[in-house]
């Protein structure tokens, strides 16, 4: 079990099937409004042999600590992946999904008498899935060929994302997300995560709208294109400046830049400021 984690011991049999186990896991995790349908996307994440071995240890130690070393038990168990979602807009905008695996075990414990209990809590280390907006946009456009596969096995594929670190995602998750996005919107999919999904949905939609607009627009000459921070940084990088150097140059020039400037004018000012010269 994760450091600092603790299994809850509930009296009686609180779960009798997978659906009841899901309900209890969501309740314990404090997740509000999540559609149980979304959990199906993450069911293939746990390594069954590893998670079962860990569950055996946790169940045994928890029962012995509560009822003594002479206690015996029989359990029926379920594993419930519970995703937690947030949006990171820094550098490369992306959705980050942290998935905890919750163990729910209904147990008959025998000492001098018998009792029914239910154990529930997160076990193992959470798995973090990172989905860059450019990757999600490619799924929507059915254009995954734009990304090179760095590595692939039966469970995971690692994708090369330009301008970012390679992204390693479960094959089942990507396949299921691709299938769902054929018949529902990204916003509708995010809303299945409950309150956390509704919070990030406008940010994700705005980012995807920007990518769609960029893909559908013809590039303008620098003397006509309006300046944005990203376009200015990209222009400097194309002039052989390192990314960190380009961003620092833009930050230094920020007091002289205006939203109504053309990209050409902004480049001129930024280069002049970078050289330490005075603007005429």
The pLDDT profile of the chain, 280 residues, written as one tens digit per residue, is 444 357 999 999 999 999 999 999 999 999 989 998 899 999 888 888 899 999 999 999 999 999 999 999 999 999 999 999 999 988 789 999 999 999 999 999 999 899 999 999 999 999 999 999 999 999 988 888 888 899 999 999 999 987 778 999 999 999 999 999 888 888 889 989 999 998 998 888 888 877 776 655 445 555 567 778 888 888 777 655 678 888 888 888 888 888 788 888 888 788 777 655 444 4
Residue of 64, 122, 128, 131 lying closest to 94 (CA atoms): 131
User: Could you give the 3-state DSSP secondary structure of residue 104?
Assistant: strand
Residue of 224, 221, 279 lying closest to 252 (CA atoms): 279
Kind and range of the H or E run holding 54: helix 48-67
**Distant-in-sequence, close-in-space partners of 160: CB < 8 Å, separation ≥ 6:** 147, 148, 149, 150, 166
pLDDT of residue 238: 60
The CA angle 161-96-98, to the nearest 5 degrees, is 130
pLDDT of residue 3: 43
**Distant-in-sequence, close-in-space partners of 90: CB < 8 Å, separation ≥ 6:** none
């Amino acid at each position: 079990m994760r450091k600092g984690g603790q299994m809850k011991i509930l009296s009686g049999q609180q779960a009798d099937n997978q659906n009841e186990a899901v309900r209890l896991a969501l309740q314990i995790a404090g997740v509000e409004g999540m559609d149980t349908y979304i959990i199906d996307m993450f069911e293939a994440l746990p390594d069954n042999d590893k998670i079962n071995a860990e569950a055996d240890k946790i169940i045994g130690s928890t029962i012995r600590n509560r009822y003594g070393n002479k206690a015996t038990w029989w359990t029926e168990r379920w594993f419930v992946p519970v995703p937690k979602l947030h949006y990171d807009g820094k550098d490369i905008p992306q959705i980050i999904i942290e998935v905890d695996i919750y163990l729910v075990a209904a147990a008959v414990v025998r000492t001098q008498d018998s009792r029914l209990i239910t154990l529930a809590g997160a076990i193992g280390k959470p798995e973090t899935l990172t989905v860059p907006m450019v990757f999600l946009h490619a799924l929507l456009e059915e254009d995954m060929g734009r990304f090179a596969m760095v590595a692939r096995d039966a469970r995971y594929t690692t994708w090369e994302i330009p301008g970012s670190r390679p992204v390693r995602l479960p094959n089942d998750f990507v396949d299921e997300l691709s299938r769902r996005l054929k018949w529902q919107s990204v916003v509708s999919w995010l809303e299945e995560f409950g309150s956390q999904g509704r919070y990030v949905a406008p940010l994700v939609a705005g980012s995807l709208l920007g990518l769609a607009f960029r893909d559908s627009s013809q590039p303008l000459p620098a003397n006509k294109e309006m300046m944005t921070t990203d376009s200015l940084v990209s222009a400097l990088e194309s002039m052989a400046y390192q990314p960190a150097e380009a961003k620092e140059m833009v930050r230094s020039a920020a007091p002289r830049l205006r939203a109504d400037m053309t990209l050409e004018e902004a480049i001129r000012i930024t280069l002049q400021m970078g050289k330490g010269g005075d603007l005429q």
